[in-house]
């Protein structure tokens, strides 16, 4: 991002020199027709929505969906800046609360020599790279207000005075101050939310929670490390000439030297070192518990072996239970009753043959025959009742 900013700044300075002036100078001013033609060339998707050609809509496709912003050209354009604003409720560092797009450097310090097509193309590129975040608000802002005062942004009075004086550096500083204030408020809101949010319940015993206390604190510090915002502008580049910018781009040592002078780079370097230290502390804490982990792993293995043995015993007992219960099943009982009834009936036939052959006298025959025939009828009655109750055949 820093290298692209340098190249963009060099291109900006060179283009102003070719047109015959720098931002804020009257020389090299583009006519209204040339500005509109530049818009059509640079952003072909821009559509005119008014008969007089003063209102244009520019659609933008982002990863969050489609959005659009509107360009209104005042009668004194290009002597007066265009009014560019979002057509949806969203937040972005380039967009003010009234949905006006003021983050582009040439919009904050407008000059008739500024190129409208280049500005709109830069806005489209910015929104595609970092899409505006949708927000929930009451009604959208209606009538444009060209008399916006920075005093409503909550900046210090001395910064507002410098802005009204027309100083480009002061306006740039004010933009950075507004961005820093917004980030600061968001960070405090996140901290207050964390403070009021109750900690999640823990299933670990108190002794283990005490042992893991240091590790948890280090992890919390790593997780809640605040990442500094990446700025959209680098004021240090305004101090270099075009030749110096080219030299910085071609010389890696000078590029690194300039890069290390930027405050956000220093903050990110410090954050990186903090993350490295936090991760190292967590790793050392985990390595210190290696013996405890190995001991618990051994206990788990013993319990699994015991579980396997007990599971095998249970399967054997279940097999025996199924075998025993099988003997008393309805089908098996019906089979046994049928066999017993057939056996008693066969004995009755044998007794009749013995009586006919005079092997048994009348008294012995009657006694034994009645006994076996009683058994037969008893088994047959039980068999018939079992068939009726269980529907067996």
- Please give the Cα distance from 293 to 228 (Å, whole number): 38
Question: Would you place residue 36 in the very low, low, confident or very high pLDDT band (cuts 50, 70, 90)?
Answer: very high
Total Cβ atoms within 10 A of residue 6: 19
Candidate from 145-159, 286-300, 353-367 with smallest mean pLDDT: 145-159
pLDDT score recorded for residue 63: 86
Kindly report the average pLDDT of the chain as a whole number. Answer: 77
pLDDT per position as a tens digit, 188-234: 444 444 444 444 444 444 444 444 555 556 555 555 556 666 677 77
Alpha helices, DSSP H, located in the chain: 2-19, 32-42, 105-108, 116-129, 157-165, 168-196, 206-211, 213-223, 242-250, 252-260, 263-288, 290-327, 330-356, 362-390
pLDDT at 89 over 50: yes
pLDDT score recorded for residue 174: 44
Question: Would you place residue 9 in the very low, low, confident or very high pLDDT band (cuts 50, 70, 90)?
Answer: low
pTM to 2 decimal places: 0.33
pLDDT per position as a tens digit, 234-290: 777 778 888 888 888 888 888 888 888 888 888 888 888 889 998 999 999 889 898
User: How many degrees, rounded to 5, is the angle at CA 306 between CA 305 and CA 309?
Assistant: 90
Among residues 109, 220, 215, the alpha carbon closest in space to that of 169 is found at 109
- Please give the Cα distance from 120 to 116 (Å, whole number): 6
Instruction: Please give the backbone phi and psi of residue 55, each rounded to the nearest 5 degrees, phi first.
Output: -125, 130
Token representation of residue 246: 């080219």
pLDDT score recorded for residue 47: 93
Rg of the chain on CA atoms, in Å: 46
pLDDT at 294 over 60: yes
pLDDT score recorded for residue 380: 92
- Comparing 277 with 26, the larger pLDDT belongs to 277
pLDDT score recorded for residue 5: 67
pLDDT score recorded for residue 65: 85
pLDDT score recorded for residue 263: 80
Most confident of 78-87, 137-146, 165-174: 78-87
69's enclosing H/E stretch is strand 65-72
What count of residues does the chain have?
393
pLDDT score recorded for residue 161: 42
pLDDT at 153 over 70: no
Most confident of 16-25, 127-136, 225-234, 368-377: 368-377
Cβ burial of 228 (10 Å; 0-12, 13-18, 19+) is: middle
Adjacent-strand bridge partners of 69: 58, 86
Question: Would you place residue 2 in the very low, low, confident or very high pLDDT band (cuts 50, 70, 90)?
Answer: low
């Amino acid at each position: 991002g820093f290298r692209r900013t340098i190249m963009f700044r060099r291109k900006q300075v060179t283009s102003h020199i070719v047109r015959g002036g720098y931002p804020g100078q009257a020389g090299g001013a583009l006519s209204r027709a040339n500005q509109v033609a530049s818009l059509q060339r640079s952003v072909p998707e821009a559509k005119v929505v008014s008969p007089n050609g003063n209102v244009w809509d520019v659609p933008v496709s982002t990863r969050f969906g489609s959005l659009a912003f509107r360009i209104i050209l005042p009668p004194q354009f290009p002597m007066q800046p265009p009014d560019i604003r979002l057509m949806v409720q969203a937040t972005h560092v380039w967009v003010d609360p009234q949905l006006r797009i003021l983050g582009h450097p040439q919009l904050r310090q407008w000059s008739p020599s500024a190129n409208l097509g280049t500005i709109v193309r830069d806005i489209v590129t910015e929104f595609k790279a970092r899409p505006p975040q949708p927000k929930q608000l009451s009604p959208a802002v209606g009538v444009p207000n060209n008399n916006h005062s920075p005093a409503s942004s909550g900046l210090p009075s001395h910064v507002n005075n410098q802005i009204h004086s027309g100083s480009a550096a002061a306006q740039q500083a004010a933009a950075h101050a507004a961005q820093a204030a917004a980030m600061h408020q968001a960070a405090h809101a996140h901290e207050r939310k964390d403070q009021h949010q109750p900690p999640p319940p823990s299933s670990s015993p108190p002794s283990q929670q005490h042992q893991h206390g240091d590790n948890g604190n280090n992890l919390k510090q790593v997780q809640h490390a605040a990442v500094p915002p990446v700025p959209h502008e680098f004021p240090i580049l305004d101090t270099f000439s075009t030749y110096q910018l080219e030299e910085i781009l071609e010389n890696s040592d000078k590029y690194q030297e300039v890069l290390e002078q930027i405050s956000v780079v220093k903050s990110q370097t410090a954050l990186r070192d903090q993350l490295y230290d936090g991760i190292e502390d967590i790793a050392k804490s985990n390595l210190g518990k290696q013996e405890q982990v190995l001991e618990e792993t051994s206990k788990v293995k013993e319990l699994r072996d015991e579980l396997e043995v007990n599971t095998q015993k249970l399967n054997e007992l279940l097999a025996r239970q199924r075998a025993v219960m099988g003997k008393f099943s309805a089908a098996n009982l019906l089979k046994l009753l049928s066999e017993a009834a057939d056996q008693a009936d066969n004995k009755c036939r044998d007794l009749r043959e013995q009586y006919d052959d005079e092997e048994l006298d009348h008294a012995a025959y009657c006694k034994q025959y009645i006994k076996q025939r009683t058994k037969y009828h008893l088994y047959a009655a039980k068999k018939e009742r079992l068939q009726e109750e269980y529907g067996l055949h």
